[in-house]
Structure 1
């Protein structure tokens, strides 16, 4: 993923929107507000698995495509269905009846 740092101005980007703008990916701001962490996580995973082209324009095009794919993975779909973050991969929620709870006193 070090190859990404070879792109001019990339180290100045601080938000998901900044990355999307930099790579020219059209996006819905409301969707990015909801899914920014997931989009950037998916982008990072894709970058780690990608073989970088030798030439700079090819690197830019590859990163733009990977970011667009990461964004599209979450566009209009509930985050829970697409996220690879562990918090969404837990087992079904457990039900604890109110009668099973006890008061805790110091």
Structure 2
């Protein structure tokens, strides 16, 4: 991790964060460690999805910080409301539930030798 000063812009500080807990700390978002321990990658991936939809050009540093905080709060709330398997943030979880007409990768135990 690159050490960044507290005066560094929030986007720089977030890009240097090395843990989910650091994101929560930098943005001042309260969290339950039990939820973060189970869903840390899912929460950060979801925040990244929200982040990808944002345009920060012309925004002030306090506005950027507030928007980043809101994105993390929403991503965290998504996983407070339901578990990662229900949210299906990652492709492997999306693929685990085949849609109608889509073949599954199921192999019965009787077929294993």
**Contact 1:35–1:74 under 8 Å retained in 2:** yes
Count of residues paired in the alignment: 97
Of structures 1 and 2, the one with the larger relative CO (CA 8 A, separation 6+) is: 1
Partners of 1:84 and 1:40 in 2: CA distance: 10
Partners of 2:27 and 2:107 in 1: CA distance: 45
Corresponding residue number in structure 1 for 2:35:
31
1:10-59: per-residue Cα shift (whole Å, max 9, x none)?
34421001101111111000100100000000111111111215211000
Partners of 1:30 and 1:93 in 2: CA distance: 32
Corresponding residue number in structure 1 for 2:68:
63
The answer as to 2:86 corresponding to 1:81 is: yes
Instruction: Give the structure-2-normalised TM-score.
Output: 0.75
Instruction: Give the structure-1-normalised TM-score.
Output: 0.79
Offset at residue 77 of structure 1 (A):
1.7
**Contact 1:31–1:76 under 8 Å retained in 2:** no
- Flag structure 1 segments of 5+ consecutive residues without an equivalent: none
Partners of 1:18 and 1:86 in 2: CA distance: 25
In the TM superposition, structure 1's runs of 4+ consecutive aligned residues that sit over 4 Å from their partners are none
- Flag structure 2 segments of 5+ consecutive residues without an equivalent: 1-7, 99-103
| Larger radius of gyration between Structure 1 and Structure 2 | 1
**Contact 1:16–1:36 under 8 Å retained in 2:** yes
**Structure 1 vs Structure 2 CA RMSD:** 2.0
